[in-house]
Structure 1
């Protein structure tokens, strides 16, 4: 019961009830405050992109999520492009971000050439030593201009595909979360994806409360990230110390919080 008497705000909505149950099991109280909106797919755009890369194959395919590739495969099948798309995957070098994406491809019988096993874009960038090539980059719902600029600086041509995109969160929810932070109603804020960090701080900047929120998340409220990618985004916003489990899973994040507070109580 490491979270006894602790109130945790969770910024992910998709698995909010699952997170609530995990936190309650550890004796805590979960407040679900989604900092991202719904996910949708611009199917016409993705199918057109698939046709283009099948007709003019790139030198490399880069995938940032297994879920994104799965959606591309589904749309290829619906558009009658399944055979051509599968041939493309098996004839071109593939780079992937994260062990989940790697497992996804191995289940398809494909071994990627380049793997960033920590799952960060920085690691993927460092692992790629390509230049003068055409690259297709499957994005994970948000842009990564630094990564793309790095590829383009090496004279690579980059085409992006967004199999799924996110709508912004409800501003009323973000306003409520900020008020709870300011009023000291929370012990921790748990971010379950990098895009939540971006949307949250965009709103914080819009209402001109960055300094106050950063102070709270540094001095009185524990910032928690589900994995290294989300942790990197929090640190990029100016939060130096972030609690992050070694395994990027929701359950592992809750157990890491419980462990943190047990250690704190016994010190």
Structure 2
């Protein structure tokens, strides 16, 4: 018997939300989508400038943080007929990367990183980047994404690097009506669970709702939070949510299976 049978599950994701909806429905649950991510904007002009700057300047390391970011830069290089030069230069660099999608992009282009975040977090990646002697300036090409940019840059600067920030895309804020609607559904325990696939979604919920306190209370007593991976789960914990279901490997399907098993184990305890 499926643990999700008859359960109402909120989905905070936009991208791939159909796949998650289908999984929940197949397991007998009822999905409700509240897109908290906001629309993604690829910045072609900025990407072109980043590629040209990258080819012109010299860097002691390149940090790629998302698959979309790496691909957007590479697409800009292709449009400018600079892809050969771009990939040749990346091949010679020390590459530090985070995330499975970034790794997929590297494999496709036969590039090999020398530093990989072991658990998908930026903290783990940064911990592997050595401190440099202040007498020599070392420059890092950092492909950022909306999250914690300032914090990352400060950390790298503390280690003695100057940081070139490449921001090939950003997210627009989500519709405030949708945010408030989800907050209300959680506060009133009209959902049994809510699944989050990025920390941006968590941040958008907590920064944009007036019901922060009620939402945390509901999550800690009536509504189960689920996260696709460690980074998203940590963001939920940081906002005071004690119980978060998350899979061993950060995959959406695995998250839904884990949530199903969580509800099954609840049934067997009763």
TM bucket by the smaller chain?
Answer: over 0.9
Deviations 1:163-222 (A, max 9, x none): 221111111111111111122101111101111111111112xx2x22211111112111
Aligned to 1:133: 138
Aligned to 1:194: 199
Per the normalisation by structure 1, the TM-score is 0.94
Deviations 1:15-48 (A, max 9, x none): 2221111001111111000001111112111211
Whole-angstrom CA distance in 2 between matches of 1:166 and 1:231: 20
Aligned to 2:246: 244
Whole-angstrom CA distance in 1 between matches of 2:143 and 2:69: 7
**2:237 corresponds to which of 235, 238, 248:** 235
The CA deviation at 1:265 is 0.4
The CA deviation at 1:145 is 2.5
Report the secondary structure of 2:92's partner residue: coil
Unaligned runs of 5+ in 2: none
Whole-angstrom CA distance in 1 between matches of 2:14 and 2:106: 27
Report the secondary structure of 1:62's partner residue: strand
The CA deviation at 1:80 is 2.2
Contact 1:57 1:88 in 2 (8 A): no
Whole-angstrom CA distance in 2 between matches of 1:125 and 1:241: 27
Aligned to 1:83: 84
Report the secondary structure of 1:175's partner residue: helix
The CA deviation at 1:93 is 0.6
Whole-angstrom CA distance in 1 between matches of 2:148 and 2:245: 25
Aligned to 1:108: 109
The CA deviation at 1:98 is 2.4
Contact 2:47 2:72 in 1 (8 A): no
Aligned to 1:95: 96
Per the normalisation by structure 2, the TM-score is 0.93
Aligned to 1:28: 29
Unaligned runs of 5+ in 1: none
Alpha-carbon RMSD = 1.4
Aligned to 1:226: 228
Contact 2:13 2:36 in 1 (8 A): yes
Aligned to 2:7: 6
Whole-angstrom CA distance in 1 between matches of 2:147 and 2:170: 7
Report the secondary structure of 1:90's partner residue: helix
Q: Report how many residues are paired.
A: 264
Q: Counterparts in 2 of 1:163-174, with a 5 A limit? A: 163-174=168-179
Whole-angstrom CA distance in 1 between matches of 2:189 and 2:104: 41
Aligned to 2:65: 64
Deviations 1:204-256 (A, max 9, x none): 2xx2x222111111121111101111112112222232111011111111100
Whole-angstrom CA distance in 2 between matches of 1:50 and 1:184: 48
Whole-angstrom CA distance in 2 between matches of 1:122 and 1:232: 12
Aligned to 1:119: 120
Aligned to 1:259: 261
Contact 2:10 2:195 in 1 (8 A): yes
Whole-angstrom CA distance in 2 between matches of 1:32 and 1:212: 20
The CA deviation at 1:82 is 1.2
